[in-house]
Amino acid sequence: MWLGAFVGFLITAALGFFFPGLGHLLGGFIGGVVAGLVARGAGRGLLAGFLAGIFGGIIIAVLAVIGLAVLGGVTTGLGGALFGGLAGLGVGLIAVLLTVFTGIISAVGGLIGGAIAR
């Protein structure tokens, strides 16, 4: 189950990175299906897909805070790093709120993938 969650997380994070927004939700569904296939079973697929979606959203939120702080620091110095970090915190909070939807979509994908594997 943990391997399925990890593989689903990698797919969710990759698609969410390259295609922000809708790609993250689509990546959550595809990652959930793959997590369910690896976990082999509807119940374990559901849990693996949910974990993959939640982990993907949390990592995106952390990377948003770090990325915007670094961007602000490189362009305008220490003050820019502070304001970039605050902007990243706002983006991160929005990403965490959207993580709930991604987790649900990934769980549905995991349920479908687990049912296919069974």
Query: What are the pLDDT digits (tens) for 57-90?
Result: 888 888 888 988 998 999 988 888 999 989 989 9
| Total of domains in the chain | 1
Residues in CB range of 92: below 8 A, 6 or more apart? 61, 62, 64, 65
Residue with tokens 């969710």: 12
**84 close to 73: Cβ distance less than 8 angstroms:** yes
* CA 46 from centroid of its chain's CA atoms: 16
Q: Which range, 16-25, 32-41, 60-69, is most confident?
A: 32-41
Number of other residues whose CB lies within 10 A of the CB of residue 31:
35
Show the domain range for 7. 2-117
